[in-house]
Each structure stands twice: as C-alpha cells, then as structure tokens.
C-alpha cells in the first residue's frame, strides 16, 4: 500500500512540476526540509550538474522551498 501511495505522490509532484516549468519557462526544483549550512555544497553541486545536463536546457531555474 505504501509503495502505491509513494508512487502516486511522486507522479503527481512530477506532473505539477512540469506544469510549473511551462508556466515559468524555467527548470523547477523543489526542496522540503530544514535549511542548514551543511546543505550549501549539496545544493551548489546539484545546480551545477543541472546546468551540465542536456535534459535541462533552460537558462532559468525556479526553486520552490518548503521549510519548517
């Protein structure tokens, strides 16, 4: 049951993020969690990898944050 729920949430989130990419004409990433200095390098490396990846071809990035 949990796997079906997880897949449904992931699929819904992916579909909504795709719509936001069209709306903002940008790549979109979503982060849910606490903002902590130890995550700075992780975010920087992730964003730099996005720029190198040919699948993510836009020059604009929208970041959605949801923090406690």
pLDDT at 1: 63
Q: What is the pTM of this model?
A: 0.72
pLDDT at 30: 87
Q: How far is CA 51 from CA 10, 55, 66, in A?
A: 23, 9, 23
33, 64 Cβ separation under 8 angstroms: no
Beta bridge partners of 33: none
pLDDT at 68: 84
pLDDT at 57: 72
pLDDT tens per residue across all 68 residues of the chain: 678 778 999 999 899 999 999 999 998 988 889 989 999 999 999 988 888 887 777 788 999 999 98
């Amino acid at each position: 049951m949990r796997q079906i729920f997880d897949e449904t949430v992931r699929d819904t989130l992916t579909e909504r993020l795709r719509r936001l990419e069209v709306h903002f004409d940008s790549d979109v990433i979503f982060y849910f969690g606490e903002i902590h200095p130890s995550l700075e390098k992780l975010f920087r490396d992730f964003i730099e990898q996005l720029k190198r990846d040919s699948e993510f071809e836009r020059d604009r990035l929208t970041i959605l944050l949801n923090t406690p």
